[in-house]
Copies of this chain bind each other. A is one copy, B any other.
Amino acid sequence: MASVDERKAIVEQYLKLVSSGTADEIMALYAPDGTLEDPVGTEPKVGREEIGAFYRSFESMEISTNLREVRASGDAAVAFAFDVVTKLPDSAMKVSAIEVMTFDDAGLITSMKAYWSPETDVEMS
């Protein structure tokens, strides 16, 4: 069981890696049979291979992340609100979302669900 502080630290590390880490580094935060549903309502990715491919698809992009709040609950869950800004050639795309993660006893992510909608939570600048 990962403590509240440990889970919050994993979220910070996760967002740091989304910004400046490799897909392999992010993938290593997940349990081998972890799942990822981003956004919620799409087909979940299951296992490190599919999860790694997801992060690899934007590995080479210039991304910054901003954690706005994180709420740990019970023994194994956390919810957090954050922004991801991706630099495009002549603009920037900001996605604002809330994610829920659960963890196993070793502190590895067993599930990640990202709540956001392409229609309402993406801002171009």
A100 within 8 A of B: yes
Q: A81-B98, A98-B79 are in contact. Are A74 and B4 (CB under 8 A)?
A: no
Evaluate contact between B40 and A77: CB separation under 8 angstroms.
Answer: yes
State which size class the interface on A falls in.
Answer: 20 to 34
Q: A71-B97, A97-B71, A121-B71 are in contact. Are A115 and B77 (CB under 8 A)?
A: yes
Interface of A, helix, strand, loop or mixed by DSSP: strand
Give complex CA distance A108, B103 in Å. 29
Evaluate contact between B120 and A74: CB separation under 8 angstroms.
Answer: no
Q: A69-B81, A81-B98, A98-B98 are in contact. Are A74 and B119 (CB under 8 A)?
A: no
Q: A117-B4, A119-B4 are in contact. Are A100 and B79 (CB under 8 A)?
A: yes
23 contacts between A and B (CB under 8 A): A4-B117, A4-B120, A39-B73, A40-B73, A40-B74, A40-B77, A41-B75, A41-B77, A42-B74, A69-B96, A71-B98, A71-B116, A71-B117, A72-B117, A72-B120, A73-B115, A78-B115, A79-B79, A79-B100, A79-B115, A81-B98, A98-B98, A98-B100
